[in-house]
Structure 1
Amino acid sequence: MASFAMAAASVTSYRWNRPPGSYHEQRNIVSTKRGKIILVERVRVTLDRVVGRGETDWGNRRNGRQGMMRATRGGITRLTVLMLTVSLVAAACANDVSGMGKEEDATLILDFVPGGIHAGIYSALAEGYFDDANINIDIEPPTSSADTLRLVLAGKATIGIAPIADVASLRARGEDIQIFMAMEQVPLVALISTAAIGVTDPSQLTGATIGVTGVPSDEAIARVILSNSGVDLDTVEFVTIGFDAVGNLIGQTVDAAIGFWSSEAVALELQGETPYVFRPDEYGAPPYPELVFFAGRDTIENRPEILRAFARAVARGYRFALNNQDTAIADLAANADGIDVEFATAEFNNVKPYYLGPNGKYGEISDEAIADYLTWADEVGVLESMPENLVTTEFLP
């Protein structure tokens, strides 16, 4: 849905791309499986400093128990406290990571070229959370808007990100895919205009020309917003503009256009425009996640452990990104080509209030919320028919 003209898509795999010896690599390597040996060595060095070589013979391992018995009472106390602390930290990390027993390969196809909204995924990559979960992940952008769905359906990708309407439509047609986690908690698609065009409220769009991408659900959403604003739809002309809402709004070839407020509105602002955004959840739609993570039946039935580990790693990535935004954007820029840091930061900030669900957790999705969305989407024509068993919640972190 977001403008494919905003960045060039290339199908390449993105892996950890951090300069060796950087601060983050040194800090986070202890949280990877391979780094556990390094953690042990660091603890030994710390113990050596706490107890003191003059009080014990810690450095002479051949003396073993005899050397330890020469430690002072204070040294033993400090040693016990430190070992207890290390044990508690290790236990906490184990509970948070919950990885698989052996390393598994997985491919994630994004909904679009990498951007600020994907920062948490790239933090999970760069900060080692996929490593913790024993997932060897490839992150790929799609070559077209339908690419994600096609690749997952064909078994060429493990997991995909796509608009909920697209996944629901395919499910309703009998395709065996299911949503297992939300990317954010609100609709991102919206009807957008600008101050330069002179439209500050959708009620002003009687007799207007509205740009839509060509995706059927887009026009349906525009009609909902317009009709709930008192606009006579018979006076409105819908024209297909593809994914160039920004160019058409700046050129004023349309009076308003369907686009993602998380990205198109940012692009308009960075080009000096004042965008006005009309979201469907402000005009009759229930709140629903625009973008969702989904997988095919084969993965759900035969590789459930990888979906569970993936969901936990991504949730950790977004928690990290929300608390360490600058580092998260740097992780994104280091691991994905063509990132405009200013644009990515603004996009991340736009969606920042909506990443966590009602219970304060990333990825939350409920059967009730999806049922409300499906009822609305069916009534207003966003969906042609109602899908069954669209969502599974068994893999939520």
Structure 2
Amino acid sequence: MRRILVVIVVALLAGGCGSTPRARGTPHAAKDATLVLDFTPNAVHAGIYSAVARGYDRDEGIRLHVIAPPASSTSLALLQAGRADFAILDIHDLAIADERGEGVVGIMALVQRPLAAVIAAPQIHNPRELQGHTVGVTGVPSDEAALSSIVAGAGGDPRRVNTVTIGFDAVAALLSRRVAAATAFWSDEGVTLAHRRPGFHVFRVDEYGAPSYPELLLCAKRSTFQAQPSVARAVVRALVRGYGLTVRDPARSETDLETKAPGLDGDLLDAKLRAVMPAFPAPDGTFGELNSVRLRAWARWEAAVGIVRKPPVLPKLFDPSFLPGAGVRS
């Protein structure tokens, strides 16, 4: 599922991914900006595609080019290599990159809660019951941490759970009964499994001891937005409008996504969008919020479960100044 034709990426990147001015018949020419996704286009990206389809990017004086990575692990690499100006990153990948001193910063949240979960076979009714069974993990460091947190949060012993690396094939591994459970996103694989074969149990990480945190973030290199703050602000404002449309009119936003990223299963996309849509707005109805209280709790948890060695320094890792109204809540 997490595959995309590399030729599409190459063609779009070759088409220009800096902030080069491009005339559009207005007094101020639009600036090009490239955004690489974390994953194959899916429901969580609906607001991004609506921002482009509805011209919100051009309203802000930019022309946003959205590309999907050949693999989920390459988004950060494309950002670091200067082949993309912005990237959607998992918050755990951002924390690890920060620990390596890579100078990448989160400037907007796409969702306001974790998407990570353990999805278990119908006969597994509680994470404690995974003791003695085999759980599939993708191989990324945060998977083991999420699994351990969920099992421990249910009163089990994570050391008694066996793991096997299955990459991003959770759906196939579970349907074939290769594993008793797998780490995945409840908003994606969880919905797919419910659509394909009802009865699987979804154990969300924030329901078993983890704090609520924004799983996916719009990120940029600090050097990029310091050199072009107006471009970063324009991208954020366009996406805030895009996600606003998604929540107000999901059918239109779904059409935007299907038009810009053809080949998606319409029925499945509709189910995924309905599942994830409540995670887009903050409690006060705003979009993109980086809540300092939640982020402090996440930083402590991130270190406690071993994803990073010590809690990330929030002012170094996040910059909410590009959000409308500063976008910060304490």
Q: Give the match for residue 106 of structure 2.
A: 179
Q: Which amino acid aligns with 1:105?
A: D
Q: Which one of 233, 237, 240 corresponds to residue 315 of structure 1?
A: 240
Q: How big is the shift at 1:264? A: 0.3
Q: Give the match for residue 285 of structure 2.
A: 360
Q: Give the match for residue 138 of structure 1.
A: 65
Q: Trace 1:209-358 onto structure 2 (pairs within 5 A).
A: 209-358=134-283
**Contact residue 367 and residue 391 of structure 1 kept, 8 A:** no
Q: How big is the shift at 1:384? A: 3.2
Q: How big is the shift at 1:315? A: 0.8
Structure 1 unaligned spans of 5+: 16-32, 37-99
Mapped partners of 1:175, 1:281: distance in 2: 28
Mapped partners of 2:298, 2:213: distance in 1: 6
Q: Trace 1:36-47 onto structure 2 (pairs within 5 A).
A: none
What per-residue deviation string (whole Å, max 9, x for no partner) do you get for residues 252-308 of structure 1?
A: 111111001101011112212322111111111110011111000221210111111
Structure 2 unaligned spans of 5+: 13-23, 325-330
Q: How big is the shift at 1:381? A: 1.2
Q: Which amino acid aligns with 2:143?
A: D
**1 or 2, which has the higher strand percentage?**
2
Identity of matched residues, %: 39
Mapped partners of 1:295, 1:173: distance in 2: 15
Q: How big is the shift at 1:387? A: 3.0
2:56 matches 1:129? yes
Mapped partners of 2:222, 2:157: distance in 1: 44
Q: How big is the shift at 1:101? A: 4.8
Q: How big is the shift at 1:236? A: 1.4
TM-score of the pair, normalised by structure 1: 0.75
SS of alignment partner, residue 128 of structure 2: helix
Q: Which one of 84, 93, 112 corresponds to residue 166 of structure 1?
A: 93
Provide the alpha-carbon RMSD of the alignment: 1.9
What per-residue deviation string (whole Å, max 9, x for no partner) do you get for residues 165-195 of structure 1?
A: 0011111111111000001011101011132
Change (3 A) 1:11 1:332: farther
Q: Give the match for residue 31 of structure 2.
A: 104
Mapped partners of 1:191, 1:295: distance in 2: 29
SS of alignment partner, residue 198 of structure 2: coil
Q: How many residues align?
A: 310
Mapped partners of 1:262, 1:376: distance in 2: 22
**Contact residue 57 and residue 235 of structure 2 kept, 8 A:** yes
**Contact residue 130 and residue 136 of structure 1 kept, 8 A:** yes
Q: How big is the shift at 1:339? A: 1.6
**Contact residue 4 and residue 70 of structure 2 kept, 8 A:** no
**Contact residue 213 and residue 243 of structure 1 kept, 8 A:** yes
